[in-house]
Structure 1
Amino acid sequence: MKISLCLIVWNELQGCQADVPNLPISEFDEVFAVDGGSTDGTVEYLESQGIKVHRQPKRGLNAAYVHANEVATGDAVVVFFAKGTLPTGDLLKFRPLFDKGNDLVIASRQLPGSVNEEDAHFFRPRKWAVMGLAAAAALVWRREGPWVRDVLHGFKGWKREAFKRMKVLDVGLSIDIEMVVRSYKLRISRVEFPTQEISRGYGETHFKIWPTGKRLLGYLWFELRRND
């Protein structure tokens, strides 16, 4: 099996400078990036490291994943967000799980042995929101196989043919929970493994919890009425 590694980036120069030197590039058959319109030197840095950068033709997180699946040449794609918050060594865990027959592989911050950036705090609104969405999605749509605890983590991999079957939307930012829900509905094999996330050392997240949450609830309402 050939596996492509895709970096999803948007003004992440500092994160790329921290993570790119530690990427296990030799373990992948292809490495490229999909950029959402960076203006901080991210693209220039990646190109200086020999990483081809594809400018996504449409804005949005869903569009970035869709474009990654389209331009990849491997049988499977692993996406990684270079923010300096996740262990690059976990990239080595995907191939064995694909080889076991899994079509969707998710690095989870909600399993035993994992670490979420909010775990050091008493109030964990983002973590609790993810757990609530995960439970609701599993209750409504899962009919077989394991249920996914971390439905909003972008650090994941998939087989390209399975992604095509999902027919995900190419607009919005529902892609992470959408892939889980579609895997439930289409009975696509899935698995999680624990990862350890630390807080960002610079900047702020692009996805604020309350605005993002409202848009995700809108997606779930759409999926409830979707027939395929």
Structure 2
Amino acid sequence: MKIALCLLTFNEIEGCKHDVPLIDRANFDEIYAIDGGSNDGTVEYLMQQNIPVFKQPKRGLNAACVHAIEKCSSDAIVFFHPKGTIPVTDTLKFREYFENGYDVVVGSRMIKGAVNEEDSKFLKPRKWFVKCLALTAFVFFRRKGKMIWDVLHGFRGATIDAFKKIDPLDYGLSIDIEMVVRSYKKNLRMVEFPTVEMPRIAGETHFKAIPTGMKLLKYMYYETFIRNDEKVVSDPPLSKKFGA
């Protein structure tokens, strides 16, 4: 099975310098980056490391992931944000799950054996918000299979066929929760494994808590009450984009 590693970047020069040298390149059939318009040297550094960089044609995390699929020639893809927050060696864990037939694989900060950045704090607003969203997705959309607890972690992967079936929106930043919700609706096989989240080594998050949370709640409303899988809701759906 051919597996691609896709780095999702936007001004992550320090994170890239920390993570990229640790990538086991022999474990992946292709490695490339989708960049959101970095101006801090991220693109130049990646190219120096012989990692192809593609500039996403539209803004937003969803657009980055959709463009990553368009550039992928493998059977499955692993999305990784090189911020120095996740052990790079955990990228090696995806292959076993894909080869055992799972469609979507999530590196989880929420299950037994995992470490969340907020675990050492008394108040854990981000962690609690993620768990609330996970429970909501479970109640509203799960038909069978296991519940996924980390619905907002960008460290995840999917087979290309599964991503096409998920048919995510090509705008906004709902891709992480959307991959879980749509997998529930499409009865895809999902699994999560524990990982360790550490503080950023440099820079600030690109996803501020309150505005990001509001956008995610709007997405959940859209998916619950408006989206109709029998109609074309984007232009065009991924299944048509990729000739499926």
Q: TM-score, normalised by structure 2?
A: 0.93
The equivalent residue for 1:227 is 228
The equivalent residue for 1:30 is 30
Answer yes or no: is the 8 Å Cα contact 2:14–2:201 preserved in 1. no
- The whole-number CA distance in structure 1 between the counterparts of 2:210 and 2:138 is 22
Shift of 1:151: 0.2
The equivalent residue for 1:51 is 51
Q: Deviations over 1:171-211 (max 9, x none)?
A: 00000000100000000110000000111122111111110
1:90 is the counterpart of 2:90: yes
- Structure 1 residues without counterparts, runs of 5 or longer: none
The equivalent residue for 1:76 is 76
User: What SS class does the counterpart of residue 132 from structure 2 fall into?
Assistant: helix
User: What SS class does the counterpart of residue 73 from structure 1 fall into?
Assistant: coil
Counterpart mapping for 1:73-152 below 5 A:
73-152=73-152
User: What SS class does the counterpart of residue 77 from structure 1 fall into?
Assistant: strand
Tell me the amino acid that sits aligned with residue 4 of structure 2.
S
User: What SS class does the counterpart of residue 46 from structure 1 fall into?
Assistant: helix
Answer yes or no: is the 8 Å Cα contact 2:3–2:30 preserved in 1. yes
Q: Deviations over 1:54-77 (max 9, x none)?
A: 000101000000000110110000
- The whole-number CA distance in structure 2 between the counterparts of 1:69 and 1:77 is 8
- The whole-number CA distance in structure 2 between the counterparts of 1:226 and 1:129 is 23
1:192 is the counterpart of 2:192: yes
- Structure 2 residues without counterparts, runs of 5 or longer: 230-244
User: Stretches of 4+ moved more than 6 A in 1?
Assistant: none
The equivalent residue for 2:164 is 164
- The whole-number CA distance in structure 2 between the counterparts of 1:202 and 1:5 is 22
Q: Deviations over 1:97-134 (max 9, x none)?
A: 00110000000000100001111111110000000000
1:201 is the counterpart of 2:185: no
- The whole-number CA distance in structure 2 between the counterparts of 1:131 and 1:209 is 14
- The whole-number CA distance in structure 1 between the counterparts of 2:112 and 2:166 is 28
RMSD of aligned alpha carbons: 0.6
Aligned-pair identity in percent equals 57
User: What SS class does the counterpart of residue 79 from structure 1 fall into?
Assistant: strand
- The whole-number CA distance in structure 1 between the counterparts of 2:24 and 2:144 is 34
- The whole-number CA distance in structure 2 between the counterparts of 1:121 and 1:156 is 25
The equivalent residue for 1:173 is 173
The equivalent residue for 2:4 is 4
- The whole-number CA distance in structure 1 between the counterparts of 2:185 and 2:46 is 37
- The whole-number CA distance in structure 2 between the counterparts of 1:112 and 1:87 is 17
Tell me the amino acid that sits aligned with residue 211 of structure 2.
P
Q: TM-score, normalised by structure 1?
A: 0.99
